[in-house]
C-alpha cells in the first residue's frame, strides 16, 4: 500500500469520525422542544391515612385530623355522639399530589405521592382512604386510594432514635384512577407550535430548517427564539403520524453559551464545556484569626481585708498562609480550565472567590451565575 492510499484511508476514517461526532451531538426535536398546550396538569387532594402502628398524628395538636375523620365517618353513615373526643394514634392527615399527563383517558391509572401535613412519625404500613384529586379549576379529575409504600425504617426506645430515609412521605403506584379528561385536540386549526425548552434563535432556525427539509418547504417557520410554527396536514387523521415523524427528526442545537454556576450555600461549582480562560496570574492565601481568653484569679494576702479579683487575659493570634503567585495558562477547553484551577490548590469555597475575581478581571470567558 503506497503513501497516497494510506493518506486517502486516513482521510476517510477522519471524515467518518467527524460524522459520528456530529451524530452524537444531534438530538431529536422531542428532546429539545414540546408541543404548545401538550403538558402535564397538577392535581391535589386532602386525604386520611389509616392503619398506622401508633405513629399517626397527635390529635391534640392537629385538630384537622379529627375533623377530617369525623367528616369521613359521617359520609359513611357513622354518627358520633355530641362532644365525643377521638384519640387517633393510627390516623394521619395527608396531602395527595399527582400529575395528570396529556391525553389521559377515563380509567387510566396514575402514581400519587402521599405526604404528611401533621406530626405523624411515620406513614409506613398505612392505607390511604378514597381521596378526590382536584385541579386548579376545582373540578375532580381523579380518585386515589391504596397502600402507602414508604422506603425507609425507624426505631425509638429509651431516649434513643434511629431513622433511615424519610418516613413522612410515600408513594402509591397506580394509586389513582382518572375520572375526568382534560380536553385537548390537535384537529383545531391548520398549524401548531413547537416550543423550545431553552430559548435560542439559532436552534429555532435549525429546527425549522430540519422540518422543511423532511416535510417540504414552507412547512415550518421560526417565529422567535422559542416558538416554531408548523403547518399541519389538511386531513385530521394524518396529523398524528405527521407529528410523530416531526418529533423524531434530529437537530444539532446551537452550542450553549459559556456559563459557570456557583452554589454559594454548598460550595458547588459547575461549568459547561464552552468555558474558557485567558492567561492570568492568581495568588490566594487563607487568613485565620484566633482569639483565646484565659481567666485568672488574684487572691489577696492573709488578713489584708482584700477581695478576690478575676481578670481576663486575651491572646490574639493572626496567621496568614503563604501562597506563591500561580500563572494560569489560557485554556481553550474545559479540561484545560479544570487543570489550571486545580493548580491553584484552592478548596471549593476559595474557588468561588477566585472565579469572581477572574470574571471581574476579564480572564474568565463565561457568564458567572451564583444561586
Q: How far apart are CA 369 and CA 301, in angstroms?
A: 67
Q: How far apart are CA 328 and CA 336, in angstroms?
A: 10
Name the percent of the chain lying above pLDDT 90.
Answer: 34
Q: Return the top range by mean pLDDT from 14-23, 44-53, 319-328.
A: 44-53
146: confidence class by pLDDT, cuts 50, 70, 90: very high
Give the pLDDT confidence score for residue 4 in this predicted structure. 46
Is 210 a residue whose pLDDT tops 90?
Answer: yes
Q: Return the top range by mean pLDDT from 9-18, 52-61, 304-313, 343-352.
A: 52-61
Give the pLDDT confidence score for residue 317 in this predicted structure. 61
212 with 265, same domain?
Answer: no
Residue 8 domain flag? no
Is 182 a residue whose pLDDT tops 70?
Answer: yes
16: confidence class by pLDDT, cuts 50, 70, 90: very low
355: confidence class by pLDDT, cuts 50, 70, 90: confident
pLDDT, greater one: 356 or 100? 100
Residue 86 domain flag? yes
191 with 98, same domain?
Answer: no
Is 357 a residue whose pLDDT tops 50?
Answer: yes
Mean pLDDT, the chain, rounded, equals: 79
Cell numbers 416531526 correspond to 246
pLDDT, greater one: 287 or 51? 51
What would you report as the CA-atom Rg of the chain, rounded to the nearest whole angstrom? 33
Instruction: Kindly list the strands in the beta sheet with 268-271, ordered across the sheet, starting from the edge strand earlier in the chain.
Output: 268-271, 259-263, 367-370
Is 17 a residue whose pLDDT tops 50?
Answer: no
Is 352 a residue whose pLDDT tops 60?
Answer: yes
Give the mean model confidence (pLDDT) for residues 227-233. 93
Give the pLDDT confidence score for residue 328 in this predicted structure. 64
Give the pLDDT confidence score for residue 74 in this predicted structure. 80
pLDDT tens digits, one per residue of 80-107: 777 666 777 889 999 999 999 998 999 9
245 with 288, same domain?
Answer: no
Give the mean model confidence (pLDDT) for residues 163-169. 76
286 with 362, same domain?
Answer: yes
Q: What is the DSSP string of 195-263?
A: EESS--HHHHHHHHHHHHHHH-TTSEEE-SSSEEEEEPPSSGGGHHHHHHHHHT-EE-PPPPPPEEEEE
Helix/strand/coil (H/E/C) assignment for every residue in 137-152? CCCEEEEEEEECECCC
Give the mean model confidence (pLDDT) for residues 140-152. 91
Q: How far apart are CA 235 and CA 8, in angstroms?
A: 50
Q: Domain tally for the chain? A: 3
Residue 220 domain flag? yes
Is 325 a residue whose pLDDT tops 80?
Answer: no
Give the mean model confidence (pLDDT) for residues 47-53. 91
Give the pLDDT confidence score for residue 184 in this predicted structure. 78
Residue 56 has what DSSP assignment? S
pTM for the structure as a whole: 0.67
pLDDT, greater one: 150 or 332? 150
Torsion, Cα of 55, 56, 59, 60 (10° steps):
30
62 with 171, same domain?
Answer: yes
DSSP H or E segment with residue 320: strand 309-320
Q: How far apart are CA 203 and CA 293, in angstroms?
A: 64
223 with 285, same domain?
Answer: no
64 with 90, same domain?
Answer: yes
State the cell numbers at 158: 429509651
Residue 130 domain flag? yes
Cell numbers 459557570 correspond to 260
Residue 362 domain flag? yes
45 with 137, same domain?
Answer: yes
Residue 5 domain flag? no
pLDDT, greater one: 41 or 302? 41
49 with 168, same domain?
Answer: yes
End-to-end Cα separation, the chain, in angstroms: 60
CB-based burial, 338-353: b 16+ in 10 Å, e otherwise: eebbeeeebeeeebbe
170 with 62, same domain?
Answer: yes
Residue 355 domain flag? yes
Residue 34 domain flag? no
Q: Are 350 and 321 in contact (CB under 8 A)?
A: no
Give the pLDDT confidence score for residue 242 in this predicted structure. 92
Q: How far apart are CA 190 and CA 287, in angstroms?
A: 67
Is 5 a residue whose pLDDT tops 70?
Answer: no
CATH of the domain at 193: 3.30.1360
Give the pLDDT confidence score for residue 207 in this predicted structure. 93
174 with 190, same domain?
Answer: no
Domain that holds residue 121: 41-154+162-178
51 with 168, same domain?
Answer: yes
Q: How far apart are CA 353 and CA 287, in angstroms?
A: 14
Is 19 a residue whose pLDDT tops 90?
Answer: no
pLDDT, greater one: 6 or 135? 135
Amino acid at each position: 500500500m503506497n503513501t497516497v492510499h494510506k493518506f486517502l484511508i486516513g482521510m476517510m476514517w477522519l471524515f467518518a469520525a467527524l460524522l459520528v461526532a456530529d451524530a452524537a451531538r444531534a438530538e431529536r426535536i422531542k428532546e429539545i422542544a414540546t408541543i404548545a398546550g401538550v403538558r402535564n396538569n397538577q392535581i391535589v387532594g386532602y386525604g386520611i391515612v389509616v392503619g398506622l402502628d401508633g405513629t399517626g398524628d397527635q390529635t391534640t395538636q392537629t385538630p384537622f385530623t379529627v375533623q377530617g375523620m369525623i367528616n369521613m365517618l359521617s359520609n359513611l353513615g357513622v354518627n358520633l355522639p355530641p362532644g365525643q373526643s377521638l384519640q387517633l394514634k393510627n390516623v394521619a392527615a395527608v396531602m395527595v399530589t399527582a400529575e395528570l399527563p396529556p391525553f389521559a383517558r377515563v380509567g387510566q391509572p396514575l402514581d400519587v405521592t402521599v405526604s404528611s401535613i401533621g406530626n405523624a412519625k411515620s406513614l409506613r404500613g398505612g392505607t390511604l382512604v378514597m381521596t378526590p384529586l382536584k385541579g386548579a379549576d376545582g373540578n375532580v379529575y381523579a380518585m386515589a386510594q391504596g397502600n402507602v409504600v414508604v422506603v425507609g425504617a425507624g426505631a425509638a426506645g429509651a431516649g434513643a432514635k434511629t431513622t433511615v430515609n424519610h418516613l413522612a412521605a410515600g408513594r402509591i403506584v397506580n394509586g389513582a384512577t382518572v375520572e375526568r379528561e382534560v380536553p385537548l385536540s390537535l384537529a383545531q386549526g391548520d398549524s401548531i407550535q413547537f416550543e423550545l425548552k431553552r430559548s435560542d434563535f439559532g436552534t429555532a432556525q435549525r429546527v425549522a430548517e430540519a422540518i422543511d427539509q423532511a416535510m417540504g418547504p414552507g412547512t415550518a417557520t421560526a417565529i422567535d427564539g422559542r416558538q416554531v410554527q408548523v403547518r399541519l396536514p389538511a386531513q385530521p387523521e394524518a396529523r398524528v403520524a405527521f407529528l410523530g415523524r416531526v418529533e423524531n427528526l434530529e437537530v444539532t442545537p446551537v452550542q450553549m453559551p459559556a456559563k459557570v454556576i456557583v452554589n454559594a450555600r454548598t460550595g458547588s461549582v459547575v461549568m459547561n464545556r464552552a468555558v474558557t480562560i485567558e492567561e492570568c496570574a492568581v495568588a490566594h492565601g487563607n487568613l485565620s484569626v484566633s482569639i483565646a481568653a484565659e481567666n485568672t484569679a488574684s487572691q489577696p494576702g492573709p488578713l489584708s481585708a482584700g477581695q478576690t479579683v478575676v481578670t481576663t487575659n486575651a491572646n490574639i493570634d493572626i496567621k496568614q498562609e503563604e501562597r506563591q503567585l500561580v500563572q494560569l495558562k489560557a485554556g481553550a477547553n474545559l479540561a484545560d480550565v479544570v487543570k489550571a484551577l486545580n493548580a491553584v490548590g484552592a478548596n471549593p469555597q476559595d474557588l468561588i472567590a477566585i472565579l469572581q475575581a477572574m470574571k471581574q478581571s476579564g480572564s474568565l470567558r463565561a457568564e458567572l451565575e451564583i444561586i
